[in-house]
């Protein structure tokens, strides 16, 4: 089995569960995924909730990635103005097998023109703001996550775990995803249309 490299982007003010929820699912299969964290520079990056996560490497030194994960959080608003970061996302995504965002991380994928013309979702509480940053996207409010070819976008926070399991199912098969959910003692909502947080 080929071991895939998963790169998780972090930036000041990222949402912790957006990052660690999905990563925990992939970490259930260390034989299949190598996880690295990336930021503008190596070292600690402070999350929105306070604790810092250490970036393993700087984006300028990033190796090729098979999977790219972008969390959301309040810090996405500042990250949107970082042209170098957005350019790196665009370039890295072009060579990745899967690119995924959680929550308002979709705004960063949208800014990199990765979502244009296709469906995507984001956090309900920030939906109008994210959708307003890039109207050329088919923004879908009622969706736990959206899968559009190589692009996955998840709704708010915990939805990233459901999306991560869907990504594992895409890459390794449904049984692998079910096994990861079982190991994590997590009840997987495997239907992206089943979104209990969306209002009619």
Residue 58: strand pairing partners:
39
Question: How far is it, in rounded angstroms, from Cα 72 to Cα 55?
Answer: 16
Question: How far is it, in rounded angstroms, from Cα 190 to Cα 17?
Answer: 19
Residue 103 annotated among the catalytic residues of the structure: yes
Strand, coil or helix: 138: strand
Tokens of 95: 């060579």
Question: What angle separates helix 159-172 from helix 174-183, to the nearest 10 degrees?
Answer: 140
Sheet harboring 67-70: ordered strands across?
Answer: 57-58, 33-39, 4-9, 67-70, 98-102, 151-154, 145-148
Exactly one of 6, 19, 65, 103 is catalytic; name it. 103
Q: So which residues are the catalytic ones? A: 103
């Amino acid at each position: 089995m080929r071991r895939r490299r998963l790169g998780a982007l972090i930036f000041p003010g990222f949402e912790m569960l957006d990052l660690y929820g999905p990563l925990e699912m992939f970490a259930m299969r260390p034989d299949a995924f190598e996880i690295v964290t990336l930021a503008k520079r190596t070292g600690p990056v402070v999350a929105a909730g306070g604790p810092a996560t250490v970036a393993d490497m700087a984006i300028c030194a990033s190796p090729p990635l098979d999977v790219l994960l972008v969390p959301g959080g309040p810090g996405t608003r500042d990250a949107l103005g970082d042209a170098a970061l957005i350019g790196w996302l665009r370039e890295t995504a072009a060579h990745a097998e899967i690119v995924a965002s959680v929550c308002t991380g979709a705004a960063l994928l949208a800014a990199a023109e990765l979502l244009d013309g296709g469906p995507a979702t984001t956090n309900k509480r920030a939906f109008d703001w994210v959708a307003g940053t890039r109207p050329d996207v088919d923004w879908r409010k009622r969706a736990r996550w959206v899968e559009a070819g190589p692009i996955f976008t998840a709704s708010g926070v915990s939805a990233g775990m459901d999306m991560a399991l869907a990504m594992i199912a895409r890459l390794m098969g449904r049984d692998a995803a079910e096994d990861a959910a079982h190991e994590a003692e997590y009840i997987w909502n495997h239907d992206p249309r089943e979104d209990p947080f969306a209002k009619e």
